[in-house]
Amino acid sequence: MGLEQKAGDLGVVTARLEDVVNWGRTSAMWPMLFGLACCAIEMIATQSSNYDASRFGMELMRPSPRQSDLMIVAGRVTRKMAPVVRRLYDQMPEPKWVIAMGDCASCSGVFNNYALVQGVDEIVPVDVYIAGCPPRPEALLNGFMTLHEKVKKEKLATWS
C-alpha cells in the first residue's frame, strides 16, 4: 500500500546505512522475559492489554537470553542474584542494551542494606535508568523511546 504509492516506480531508494540499520534495530528490539521483583509486575502490565508494548515492536519477550536484544532489569538485584544477572548479560548476543527499571535497579531505592547490590550498574552497563517505585507503565514506555532515540544516534564506528 503506502510505500508503493509514494515511491512510485522509482525502484531505488537511497539512505545512509547507519540510518537503515539503526531503524531496523529499534523497530524490533526483543526484551528478555526476566522479572526480579515488584517492578516486573508493572512490566507485565506494560506488555499486556492496556499499555501494549507491541506498538514499539517489543511484544515478543524471549525467555532465552540468546534470542534477546534488550535486558530490562525489573526489580531489586540481590547479592545472590548478581552473578546470574551478569551471566545472562554475557549470554546475550551483541548488540545489546540494558534498561534499569525502577529505583532498586538504578540505586537500590529504599533498601540501603547488606543484601542488595546498590544499583545494577555495578555489574552490567546500563543505557537508560527509569525512576519510580515502581515506575508507571508510561514511564517504562518513555524509557523504551529514550533508548530508541539513543540507538538511532549510534554511528557506524560504535557498532559492535
Partner 1 sequence: MSQIQEVEASINELKHLFSPAAMTGETMVLNLGPQHPSTHGVLRLMLELDGEEVVTCVPDIGFLHTGIEKNMEYKSYLKALVMTDRMDYLNNMGNNLTYCLAVEKLCDISVPERATTLRIICAELQRIASHLIWLGTSGIDLNASSMLMYCVRERERILDLFELISGQRMMTSYIRPGGVWRDVQKEFISGVEDFLAYFPDKVADYERLLTNNPIFIGRTMDIAVIEPEKALEYGMSGSSLRGSGVNYDVRRAMPYCGYETYDFEVPVETGGDVYARYQVRIAEFYESMKIIRQAVDRLKKQNGPVTSEDRKFSPPPRSELHTSMESLIHHFKLWTEGFSAPDAEVYAATESPRGELGCYLVGDGGPKPRRVHFRTPSFLNLQALPYLSEGYLVADLIAAIGSIDIVLGDIDR
- E-strand ranges in 92-147 read 97-101, 128-130
Distance of CA 48 to the CA centre of its chain: 16
Minimum gap (Å) between residue 5 Cβ and ligand SF4? 47
Residue 40 or 58 having the CB closest to partner 1: 40
Grid cell 506494560 in the structure block, residue: 46
Grid cell 526484551 in the structure block, residue: 31
Residue 104 or 147 having the CB closest to ligand SF4: 104
Minimum gap (Å) between residue 54 Cβ and ligand SF4? 23
Cα distances (Å, whole numbers) of residue 89 to 41, 43, 48, 80, 143 = 21, 19, 25, 16, 19
Q: For binding to ligand SF4 (CB under 6 A), which residues are involved?
A: 37-39, 75-76, 102-104, 109, 133-134
Q: For binding to partner 1 (CB under 8 A), which residues are involved?
A: 33-38, 40-42, 44-45, 48-50, 63, 65, 75-76, 78, 80-81, 84, 88, 110-111, 113-116, 133-134, 136
